[in-house]
Amino acid sequence: MILALAQLPWGQSSRETKSNKGPRALGLVELASQGKAHLIPITILYDGKFYDASAYKASPVPMALWAETEYEGFRTGISQGMFTVTAALQNRTTSEWIGEGTWQTAESLAAKPSKKSFSSVPRDLNQEEGPPVLRHSGANPKPPQPASPQPASTTPSPASTPPAAPPASSTPAPLPTSASSPAPSAPASTAQPEDPDRPTLKRGKPAPAPPEPRSPANPVAPKPPVHASLPNGSQVQLIPAISDAGGPEPHPYAYEMKSEQEQTFRKKMLILAADELRAWVQQRTSGMTSSTAPAHTTKQRNATSGKAAQPDFNEIQLNVFDLSSSNEPTLVLTASARMPQRPKEDQPQYFVALVARQDINGDFHKAFSRVTDNHHLDVEPKFQLIDAVDVDGDGRGELLFRKVYDASSAFVVYRVIGDQLYALFDGTPGASSDLVP
């Protein structure tokens, strides 16, 4: 692991976890309504450290986008399908990479028998003898080969060379990532090295049918999939995807609750969000940031929130997760808002992202808060929750956000520990694509 973590004050996970040193890649599948999909590489975990997947071993094509690499898509821990990379494309203007490929749903994969033949050698038998292996498709995958004293490969090992290398060519063949403004171009070469011991991504059987989550009495309706808007008004689904040859078995991260409990959660989270928004507006004039505001419990906030002007919230999204399988809710609320005391034509649009935990007394404690408005997106981005996903392969869920600036965006992954969030990976902002809302 890359962080020394304190003992959890909120209880221990009921699942045994073990260190996963990778390689384990995280990407984001953008699935259009007509079924066309592509993948944005986010981060790669290798030897306990996270690297930018769009730059890791980019010689010239990033390792995360090598042809036939398989990514399993998840929604709140439940398998949705498989994305297989067929080509790597580079934006002509920003030099950002995306992966073109094919998407198969979990249902379609489960409905047809596998045509692959598998080796009798257990998957992890020679784990320490060969190079790192990620999931990689193929009709007849070979078992791991023992390392040779004089390997034929000239490819440098990820552990002994800088992980993020720029493309070898000073003039790569760039390609636009936007599906809405195609331009004549050719995909960058995705040919892999001829070395049989090269590091690859996920190699294994197709994803099984998604497990059926347990349902309490009167369960709340499933949350709609996270989506972004294309310029033509159509919608795309955003699905986190993992490529890992030896990761843990997936399990749901949704917190089981009744409709009445969700309404209670929503009311309390909106009270917290209103306090954070009012504090941010007031602190803008004093030069303070919302992160410096003192933390209070729900009871302390309720004593004063009724006297202040109430924001008008819109586009409210509340997600409740059980990230550590300990039946302890982690609540994430995102919303836009306006302050009604100002003239309508002079009202900025505010954006709030809030993460909170509930203690044994039912009080909510803020773990994370970000507030901005449409006039400050150049320096203070709005936070868009993508989903909960197991980024490091330890069986626990982390929170994946996209930070959206006025002309760029980046991804950040947070681990929730007690009443704090710790960034496991914080990407560098790049120019926004047409898929960023």
38 and 150, same structural domain? yes
171 and 319, same structural domain? no
Contacts of 156 (CB under 8 A, 6+ apart): none
Last residue of a domain, one of 219, 243, 267: 243
- Rounded Cα distance, 241 and 80, in Å: 9
The partner residues of 388 in beta bridges, in order of sequence, read 399
Return the SS3 of 402. strand
132 and 231, same structural domain? yes
Question: pLDDT digit string (tens) for 108-141?
Answer: 998 877 555 444 444 443 444 455 567 665 544 4
Question: pLDDT digit string (tens) for 280-317?
Answer: 998 886 755 444 444 545 454 444 444 677 899 999 99
Residue 19 forms part of a structural domain: no
Last residue of a domain, one of 243, 278, 309: 243
156 and 38, same structural domain? yes
295 and 217, same structural domain? no
Peptide bond into 23 cis (omega under 30): yes
Is the pLDDT at 20 greater than 60, yes or no?
yes
Residue 254 forms part of a structural domain: no
Note the pLDDT of residue 311: 92
pTM of the model: 0.71
Residue 436 forms part of a structural domain: no
Note the pLDDT of residue 307: 61
Place of tokens 């999204």: 317
**DSSP for 81-146, written as a single string:** EEEEEEEEEE-TTT--EEEEEEEEEHHHHHHS-------SS-TTTTTTTS--EEEB--SSPPPPPP
Amino acid at 55: A
421 and 291, same structural domain? yes
Question: pLDDT digit string (tens) for 139-155?
Answer: 444 444 444 444 444 44
Residue 28 forms part of a structural domain: yes
- Rounded Cα distance, 396 and 263, in Å: 26
275 and 224, same structural domain? no
Residue 17 forms part of a structural domain: no
Query: What's the burial of 169, exposed, middle or buried (CB within 10 Å: 0-12/13-18/19+)?
Result: exposed
Peptide bond into 60 cis (omega under 30): yes
Is the pLDDT at 183 greater than 50, yes or no?
no
Number of domains in the chain: 2
340 and 365, same structural domain? yes
Where is average pLDDT lowest: 4-8, 108-112, 330-334?
4-8
Note the pLDDT of residue 368: 97
Amino acid at 354: L
Mean pLDDT of 32-57: 92
Is the pLDDT at 342 greater than 90, yes or no?
no
Note the pLDDT of residue 19: 64
Last residue of a domain, one of 218, 243, 268: 243
SS3 content of the chain, % helix, strand, coil (to 5): 10, 35, 55
119 closest CA partner among 152, 145, 83, 85: 145
The token pair at 249 is 């078995």
Mean pLDDT of 54-72: 93
Note the pLDDT of residue 305: 46
- Rounded Cα distance, 354 and 335, in Å: 9
* Percentage of the chain exceeding pLDDT 70: 60
Is the pLDDT at 177 greater than 60, yes or no?
no
Question: pLDDT digit string (tens) for 189-222?
Answer: 445 555 555 556 664 444 444 444 444 444 444 4
Give how far Cα 298 sits from Cα of 184, 359, 364, Å: 57, 11, 5
304 and 423, same structural domain? yes
Residue 9 forms part of a structural domain: no
395 and 306, same structural domain? yes
Of the pLDDT bands very low, low, confident and very high (cuts 50, 70, 90), residue 93 is confident
Is the pLDDT at 237 greater than 60, yes or no?
yes
309 and 234, same structural domain? no
**Cβ(32)–Cβ(39) under 8 Å?**
no
Highest mean pLDDT among 19-23, 181-185, 235-239, 332-336: 332-336
Of the pLDDT bands very low, low, confident and very high (cuts 50, 70, 90), residue 432 is very low
- Rounded Cα distance, 377 and 351, in Å: 10
Query: What's the burial of 388, exposed, middle or buried (CB within 10 Å: 0-12/13-18/19+)?
Result: buried
Question: pLDDT digit string (tens) for 378-407?
Answer: 999 999 999 999 999 999 999 999 999 998
The range of the structural domain enclosing residue 191 comes to 24-243
| Residue 107: CB atoms within 10 Å | 11
Of the pLDDT bands very low, low, confident and very high (cuts 50, 70, 90), residue 428 is confident
Residue 380 forms part of a structural domain: yes
159 and 34, same structural domain? yes
Longest Cα–Cα distance of the chain, Å, equals 75
Residue 44 forms part of a structural domain: yes
Tell me phi and psi for residue 76, to 5 degrees. Answer: 55, 45
